[in-house]
Every structure is written in C-alpha cells, then in structure tokens.
Chain A
Amino acid sequence: QSVLTQPPSVSGAPGQRVTITCTGSSSNIGAGYDVHWYQQLPGTVPKLLIYGTRNRPSGVPDRFSGSKSGTSASLAITGLQAEDEADYYCQSCDSSLRGVFGGGTKLTVL
C-alpha cells in the first residue's frame, strides 16, 4: 500500500492528452511538500521527469507538465507519442523528510 495513490493504468491514442493523478494527504503533499515525477521505460532505470511540481530537467519535452492543488498533484502529457509508453511514479516527502512514492501508473499508447 503506497503512501501516495495513483491510478494503476491510463491510456490514450497518439496525439491525445492524458493526465495522471497523485493523491496524498496532509502529511505530505497537503503539508506543502513539492511533488516530483519519474518515468520508467520498460526494462530501464527510472528517470526524473518533473521536479518541484512543475519544473522540467533539461532534455524533457514541454509536452510533459505538472501541477498541484491541495493534497493532489497531476502529470499531464500532451501530443501523446508511442515512446511515452512507460510507468510513471510520483514522489513527495513526509514531515520527517522521508521520501514517499506513488504506486505507479502504467501508460499505454493505443
């Protein structure tokens, strides 16, 4: 049982927009801690996708964007491409500065 809750799967057709939600509590996201997102392509190491809720590391396309409201956060992917098919994880902190992850969301590009 992960501390942060994500939908197990989402899907979309090429070119469409999909969103992945990440729901926490007043102990983590709701306490004001930022949310970060990771992309794990099949058989590879997780890669940082979004940090500080809405910032993209160098090299990450602007098709990926993040937002946060209250105890939840969202990752939006626009102009969906086949290469976006992967597992996506959200991460935040708790009041003890320990990391917490979501259970992960598998994105399928139809």
Chain B
Amino acid sequence: EVQLLESGGSLVQPGGSLRLSCAASGFTFSSYAMSWVRQAPGKGLEWVSAIGGSGGSTYYADSVKGRFTISRDNSKNTLYLQMNSLRAEDTAVYYCAKRSWYSGSWYDDYWGQGTLVTVSS
C-alpha cells in the first residue's frame, strides 16, 4: 500500500525558511517522480514543484522559482521541499504526491495527508 507522510509544516514569519519532508513507503521510491502541490485555505490546488526519480530533473512553478528547492534522498525514501524567503501567500496545506506518466503527461496518483504552512508575523 502506497503511503506518503508529510511533516515539517508550522508557523513561520515572513522572510523565514522551512523544510518540508515526505516519507514514502509501499513502492520503489527511486523509480518514481514526485511532486509538491499546495492548497491555500479555501482555495484550489496549485502545482508547486516536481523532481525526477533520480533527482536529476527538477521543475518549479513561477511563483516559487528561486525561493523553493525540491530534493530527494532515495536511500531514505524521503522527498523534501526547502522553502526560503517565505511570503504570506505561501500559506497553504502542502501535499506531496507520487507522479506517474501516461501517454505524454504526468499525473499524481497518490497523495499524502498534507502539512500546514502558515506564514504570518
């Protein structure tokens, strides 16, 4: 059974930093790309970042490029999101998701329960 467990969310001041983690189990972690998706309170889903199975390819939404860094440790089956220069608009539940590829497009077939990041003074 695929399981994804996020951690690291908390209250942080504007301009601060935070690192989210996502512990994966139930599948061969290194064989799959992974992504982060966020959802601000009462709002829709926003794709944030993704990383290839080996960690060699990374992708970012324009809204976080240059501030967030996605990485993974395949020996620990763990995905990370380092978030710097945080802004109030980064406040959201952050989900990690396992990515799969079908006929020319990525999709997220399993999602974690999410971790809440609140950016406020």
Q: Report which of A40, A52, A89 forms a contact with B105, defined as CB distance below 8 A.
A: A52
Give the total number of A-B pairs whose CB atoms are below 8 A apart: 78
The 8 A CB mask of A96-110 against B (1 = contact, 0 = none) is 111111111000000
Residues in A neighbouring B46, C-beta threshold 8 A: 101
Given contacts A46-B111, A48-B108, A48-B109, contact A55 B47 (CB under 8 A): no
A34 partner, pick from B44, B45, B104, B108, beta carbons under 8 A: B104
Interface size on B, as a range, is: 20 to 34
Give Cα A46 to B106, complex, Å. Answer: 16
Of the A-B pairs whose beta carbons lie under 8 Å apart in the complex, a sample of 6, sorted by A's number, is A34-B104, A89-B44, A92-B105, A97-B59, A99-B108, A101-B37
* Interfacial residues, chain A to chain B (CB-CB below 8 A): 2, 32-36, 38, 40, 45-48, 51-52, 55, 57, 87, 89, 91-93, 96-104
